[in-house]
């Protein structure tokens, strides 16, 4: 398993620039005349990871609210996500941090690494990390900023912008193509060498990318490669993957907590704050009217419910996955890949095999052995079980439910102001799209309705 240490990088402005995020230069503490050797390129990679410290938790917190899996208390700024009336007040953070990191990574992308002193392995490690992170960032930005009704997404930047350069929104299809090209390049560069990331983390991320891009044959291949490598193993107790300071054999990719992190700067600090089992300090609890609550109500014997939720007479706290603010932020576990491999096979073949059932049972049985499948279900029943199992296994850890609602175009549970009625996908799909920061609209005239 590879961990990811997000170094704290000294901030320094390399050149004068406008205040918008897209034109922001890399912040590594190095002047432009020093960005000429491999140590400088490694510093840029550390800078790229460092600029994502807050970015990593935002899709999880925002997506969980928009899927209405949580009850929000004492935090009105999150109401906009739950009510599907999203404004720029908080979405600008995700946009800005993503493009700040992209600016740093794109400096590496256009640098002449070939002429720098160092081994091919050292250069491949740098390039592997650059493509890995760029795929990760654009995958998240595209998921939240692409407008389904027009087919346009975020600006697609592959090199640093000049001070006065103006860009436009790219087609969603072009962003998707770039994401897939970057993650495959990461896999290629990581074939024989690891950087901050490695080959199996890139392959696992590729499985997630292809799954939500509905390319199920490739999703199956990438998930299968990781599982069959034998390098990772499901924990007997799912809670063991979330042990503070642990090194779980189930985890493929984390942003790692470091002892030098200051208060509130740990990659897991926001998650701990949100799910803290304290009515006056935490601000996310289980939504009793949501899909996840209904699943747990039907099966409270599942060990995951016992491990990750604390039920009181008033609220059910979601406190088991982030028990302190000094934890690694888990991005991909092997459990997700078992579920992805099973569903990708069924979607691709329109058939359920015993191998698919075995993959499902590996996760279902770990939660509650009484629920394992004894016979091969129909395609429809298998897909519904997989949908439910992803909710149980990945809830409040990734934005899997939010992404699945889009992938499957499912109706969403209504809010109290909507009378609790189901809301069809066609009524909410464009409402969940994040607005661009006002500064970017003013400077670049960004428009997803060209």
What mean pLDDT is predicted for residues 5-10?
Answer: 30
Confidence label for 198 from pLDDT (cuts 50, 70 and 90): very high
d(CA 56, CA 267): 7
- Would you call 311 helix, strand, or coil by DSSP? strand
Residue with tokens 């990191």: 101
The whole-number pLDDT of residue 289 equals: 93
Q: Which residues of 35-44 are buried (b: 16+ CB within 10 A; e: fewer)?
A: beebebbbbb
**Among the listed residues 134, 91, 103, 89, the one whose alpha carbon sits nearest the alpha carbon of residue 24:** 103
User: How many CB atoms sit inside 10 A of residue 365's CB?
Assistant: 14
The whole-number pLDDT of residue 5 equals: 32
What mean pLDDT is predicted for residues 419-430?
Answer: 89
The whole-number pLDDT of residue 18 equals: 37
User: How many CB atoms sit inside 10 A of residue 263's CB?
Assistant: 7
**Which tens digits make up the pLDDT trace of 242-296?**
988 778 999 999 988 877 766 567 888 899 999 999 988 899 999 999 999 999 9
User: What is the percent of the chain with per-residue pLDDT over 70, rounded to a whole number?
Assistant: 92
For residue 139, give both structure tokens. 């995958």
The whole-number pLDDT of residue 14 equals: 32
Contact call for residues 44 and 1 (beta carbons, < 8 A): no
The domain made up of 2-282+289-415 has a fold known as: 1.25.40
**Among the listed residues 3, 15, 82, 9, the one whose alpha carbon sits nearest the alpha carbon of residue 44:** 9
Confidence label for 89 from pLDDT (cuts 50, 70 and 90): confident
**Which tens digits make up the pLDDT trace of 100-138?**
999 999 999 999 999 999 999 999 999 999 999 999 999
User: What is the percent of the chain with per-residue pLDDT over 90, rounded to a whole number?
Assistant: 78
Domain residue spans in the chain?
2-282+289-415
What mean pLDDT is predicted for residues 64-83?
Answer: 93
Contact call for residues 98 and 141 (beta carbons, < 8 A): yes
d(CA 383, CA 349): 12
d(CA 57, CA 52): 9
d(CA 81, CA 50): 26
The whole-number pLDDT of residue 132 equals: 98
Please give the biggest Cα pair distance in the chain.
Answer: 66
Contact call for residues 224 and 218 (beta carbons, < 8 A): no
Q: What is the total residue count of the chain?
A: 450
The whole-number pLDDT of residue 70 equals: 96
Higher pLDDT, 33 or 213: 213
What mean pLDDT is predicted for residues 136-150?
Answer: 97
Confidence label for 304 from pLDDT (cuts 50, 70 and 90): very high
d(CA 214, CA 172): 14
**Which tens digits make up the pLDDT trace of 374-408?**
999 999 999 999 999 999 999 999 999 999 999 99
Cα-based distances in Å from 155 to 63, 138, 217, 239, 387? 22, 10, 28, 39, 32
Which H helix or E strand runs over 255?
Answer: strand 251-256
Contact call for residues 56 and 101 (beta carbons, < 8 A): no
User: How many CB atoms sit inside 10 A of residue 82's CB?
Assistant: 21
Please state, rounded to an integer, the average pLDDT across all residues of the chain. 90
d(CA 184, CA 203): 8
252, burial (CB in 10 Å: exposed 0-12, middle 13-18, buried 19+): buried
Confidence label for 179 from pLDDT (cuts 50, 70 and 90): very high
For residue 246, give both structure tokens. 């642990």
Strands 329-333 and 310-311, bridge-based pairing: unpaired
**Which tens digits make up the pLDDT trace of 15-66?**
323 346 676 555 545 556 668 899 999 999 998 988 888 899 999 999 999 9
Contact call for residues 438 and 140 (beta carbons, < 8 A): no
d(CA 94, CA 398): 15
d(CA 93, CA 76): 17
Q: Which residues pair with 71 in a beta bridge?
A: 285
**Which tens digits make up the pLDDT trace of 341-369?**
999 999 999 999 999 999 999 999 999 99
**Among the listed residues 397, 440, 332, 411, the one whose alpha carbon sits nearest the alpha carbon of residue 70:** 397
The whole-number pLDDT of residue 97 equals: 92
The whole-number pLDDT of residue 418 equals: 80
Beta-carbon contacts of 289 under 8 Å, excluding residues fewer than 6 positions away, are 68, 413, 416, 420
Beta-carbon contacts of 237 under 8 Å, excluding residues fewer than 6 positions away, are 303, 307
Sign, CA dihedral 126-128-131-134, equals negative
């Amino acid at each position: 398993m590879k961990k990811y240490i997000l170094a704290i990088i000294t901030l320094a402005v390399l050149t004068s620039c406008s205040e918008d995020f897209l034109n922001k230069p890399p912040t590594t503490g190095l002047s432009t005349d020093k960005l000429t050797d491999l140590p400088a390129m490694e510093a840029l990679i550390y800078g790229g990871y460092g600029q994502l410290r807050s970015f990593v938790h935002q899709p999880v917190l925002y997506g969980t609210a928009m899927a209405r899996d949580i009850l929000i208390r004492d935090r009105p700024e999150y109401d906009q996500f739950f009510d599907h009336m999203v404004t720029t007040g908080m979405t600008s953070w995700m946009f800005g941090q993503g493009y700040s990191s992209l600016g740093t990574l794109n400096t590496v992308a256009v640098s002449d690494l070939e002429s720098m002193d160092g081994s091919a392995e050292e250069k491949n490690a740098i390039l592997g990390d650059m493509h890995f992170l760029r795929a990760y960032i654009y995958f998240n930005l595209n998921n939240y900023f692409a407008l389904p009704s027009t087919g346009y997404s975020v600006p697609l930047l592959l090199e640093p912008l000049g001070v006065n350069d103006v860009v436009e929104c790219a087609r969603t299809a072009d962003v998707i193509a770039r994401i897939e090209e970057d993650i495959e390049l990461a896999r290629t560069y990581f074939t024989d060498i690891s950087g901050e990331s490695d080959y199996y983390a890139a392959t696992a991320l590729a499985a997630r990318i292809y799954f939500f891009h509905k390319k199920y044959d490739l999703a199956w291949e990438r998930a299968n490669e990781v599982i069959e490598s034998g390098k990772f193993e499901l924990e007997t107790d799912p809670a063991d993957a979330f042990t503070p300071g642990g090194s779980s054999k189930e985890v493929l990719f984390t942003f790692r907590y470091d002892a030098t992190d200051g208060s509130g700067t740990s990659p897991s600090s926001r998650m701990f704050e949100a799910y803290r089992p304290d009515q006056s300090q935490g601000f996310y609890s289980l939504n009793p009217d949501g899909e996840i609550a209904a699943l747990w109500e039907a099966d409270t014997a599942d060990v995951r419910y016992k491990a990750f939720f604390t039920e009181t007479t008033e609220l059910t706290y979601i406190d088991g996955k982030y028990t302190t603010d000094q934890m690694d932020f888990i991005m991909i576990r092997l459990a997700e890949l078992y579920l992805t491999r099973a569903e990708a096979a069924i979607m691709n073949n329109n058939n359920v095999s015993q191998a698919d059932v075995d993959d499902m049972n590996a996760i279902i049985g770990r939660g509650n052995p009484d629920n394992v499948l004894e016979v091969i279900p129909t395609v429809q029943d298998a897909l519904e079980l997989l949908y439910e199992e992803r909710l149980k296994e990945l809830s409040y850890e990734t934005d899997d439910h939010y992404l699945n609602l889009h992938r499957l175009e499912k109706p969403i549970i209504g809010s109290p102001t909507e009378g609790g009625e189901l809301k069809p996908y066609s009524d909410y799909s464009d409402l969940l799209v994040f607005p661009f920061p006002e500064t970017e609209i003013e400077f670049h005239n960004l428009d997803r309705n060209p």
